Amino acid sequence: MVRHNVYFWLDPSLNSAQKTSFEEGLRALFRIDVVRSGSFGSPASTPERPVTRNTFDYALVLEFDSVEQHDQYQIHPEHEVFVKNFSSWFQKVRVFDVQF
């Protein structure tokens, strides 16, 4: 299994309607056939510690049954639509993929 963890720092000038649109775009990724499961959220209000990094706006977590399915997701037309529609809103994106 592969867990695809994506952290987004968005343009701070986005309004609430744009953030809602972004969330709808994230949800659309869950419907891609090779995605086993998915979720997204914003930073938790846990206590700040030296190792904590919670300056991101959204975190996306997708699970795939294999590296091959992850790779299919990367070139899937719906993923490309998400990137095309929202990448101009990203100030920074970081990806951490984990294989189990």
Rounded Cα distance between 69 and 11, Å, is 30
Quick: pLDDT tens for 13-67. 999 999 999 999 999 999 999 999 999 999 999 999 999 999 999 999 999 999 9
- Asked whether the beta carbons of 38 and 46 are under 8 A apart, the reply is no
Q: What integer pLDDT is reported at residue 55 of this predicted model?
A: 95
Q: What are phi and psi of 48, to 5 degrees?
A: -70, 135
Mean pLDDT of the region 64-73: 98
Mean pLDDT of the region 3-11: 98
Q: What integer pLDDT is reported at residue 47 of this predicted model?
A: 93
The class level of CATH for 2-45+54-99 reads: alpha beta
Q: What integer pLDDT is reported at residue 12 of this predicted model?
A: 97
Q: What integer pLDDT is reported at residue 28 of this predicted model?
A: 98
- Asked whether the beta carbons of 4 and 57 are under 8 A apart, the reply is no
Q: What integer pLDDT is reported at residue 87 of this predicted model?
A: 97
Rounded Cα distance between 47 and 39, Å, is 23
Angle (nearest 5°) at CA 29 between 24 and 32: 140
Confidence of residue 1 (pLDDT cuts 50, 70, 90): very high
Nearest to 86 by CA among 35, 27, 41, 42: 27
Number of CB atoms found within 10 A of residue 63's CB = 17
Domain ranges within the chain, ordered by starting residue? 2-45+54-99
